[in-house]
Chains A and B, each alone.
Chain A
Amino acid sequence: MIQLIQNFINKVFRDLFRKKKNLKIGIYGPPNSGKTTLANRICKDWLGEELGVVSSIAHETREIQLKEKVTIKSKDDNEMTFSLVDTPGIATKVDFEDFMKAGLKSKEAKERAKEATKGVIESIKWLDDMDVVIVVLDATHDPYTQVNITIIGNLQARDIPVLLVANKVDLKKADVKRLEAAFPQYDIVGISAKTGTNIDQFYEGLFAIAG
């Protein structure tokens, strides 16, 4: 009951902020799913500049990255302005030895692991500040992980609108249908943030839930 009241209050406040147009859109997901690549794609498409550094080593984004006043346009010329929040990947484990295997030196790997753990905590803390969340999942990976379920379940519990994105559809192993089967209650947009495949469909989806 308390949770229901809490959700109602959150929704009222969120709607108030939306009307003020201080919309905050967060990009969430597990590490290496392509969150920063998507954030860069959005910023490049509409602002002409990138937001963050992309790397094949997990936990490249270890701090919240924010880009204010991003304005996008829909096909029918509607405009939407928001702050874009790129978050560090949420994980249940961080092993500095994995970074060493990826080529980092011991000291560097330990430092990265420490920063990565702080990044995960920051991502979780920022959840309450979001008006809308884009959950970016890697379409080449098994979607039935507890991290994915926890992220999506938390957003559902907080009554935050979610756009589910199946990223990396340019890769052969990508399977959007598997994601659709795992989260049948959501519409899923299959995209490649790297190549721009289906990016227009993604923006339409964003307008549909946040516009």
Chain B
Amino acid sequence: MLTLQYMPYGEIEQLQSEERVRKILSVVKKNRIVLLEGKLEREEETELIKQTMESISESFKGIELGAINPTERGDAAFIQKLKKNMATLLMGNRQGMTIIGPASIVRQIKQDPEKIQVFTDVGKRRR
């Protein structure tokens, strides 16, 4: 069975970066895939990697993560960039979605600016 846990951005909004990461990791360590509304800051992503590495053990092998934010296309035209800046101003980091799963379940996350594909090992385990 695959458990997906939705985490609205409001659930982490008031937390400090380290606490945000700790909260996300605590769910992932329960073998659940976190669907986070919005995205983490770049520095928080490195904090997530750092805390993940500190937690690695024989039973916890790390995480797979992927984020999608269609407004973040690097080749966007000027008007699109302007719209993006306006949206960022109004919504902060609530735009897009981030998926964080335990590496023992999520084998790979493939992403591009428009889609995200999650490859799991769940079916393989059953066989």
A interface residues, Cβ below 8 angstroms from B: 90-96, 110, 113-114, 117-118, 120-121, 124, 127, 142, 144-147, 149-150, 153-154, 156-157, 182-185
Contacts and interface: CB of A to CB of B under 8 A. Distances in A.
A146 B96 CA distance: 14
Given A95-B61, A120-B49, A184-B75, 19 more contacts: A92-B65, A93-B62, A93-B63, A95-B62, A96-B58, A118-B53, A120-B50, A121-B53, A121-B54, A124-B46, A144-B111, A145-B111, A146-B66, A146-B109, A149-B67, A150-B42, A150-B45, A153-B45, A154-B46
29 contacts: A91-B49, A92-B62, A92-B103, A93-B61, A93-B62, A93-B63, A93-B64, A93-B103, A94-B56, A113-B56, A117-B53, A121-B50, A121-B53, A124-B46, A144-B111, A145-B109, A145-B111, A146-B45, A146-B64, A146-B66, A146-B109, A147-B49, A150-B45, A153-B45, A154-B43, A157-B43, A182-B112, A183-B74, A185-B74
A134 B61 CA distance: 28
B110 A142 contact: yes
A142 B49 CA distance: 20
Given A92-B52, A95-B62, A157-B43, A146 B112 contact: no
Contacts of B42: 150, 153-154, 156-157
Contacts of A185: 74
Contacts of A92: 49, 52, 62-65, 103
Nearest to B55: A117
A95 B102 CA distance: 12
Task: Name the residue among B53, B54, B64, B75 with the largest chain A CB count within 10 angstroms.
Answer: B53
How extensive is the interface on chain B, given as a class? 20 to 34
Task: Name the residue among B42, B61, B63, B66 with the largest chain A CB count within 10 angstroms.
Answer: B42
B53 A146 contact: no
A26 B15 CA distance: 32
A188 to B, nearest CB: 12
A151 to B, nearest CB: 8
Nearest to A150: B45
Given A117-B53, A150-B42, A153-B45, A94 B58 contact: no
Contacts of A154: 42-43, 45-46
Contacts of A182: 112
Contact of B56 (A117, A153, A184): A117
Contact of B53 (A96, A120, A149, A156): A120
Contacts of A124: 46, 49-50
Nearest to B56: A117
Interface string B62-91: 111111000000110000000000000000
A4 B64 CA distance: 30
A153 B45 CA distance: 10
A113 B58 CA distance: 10
Contact of A146 (B50, B61, B67, B103): B67
Contacts of B66: 146
B74 A90 contact: no
A127 B46 contact: yes
Contacts of B74: 183-185
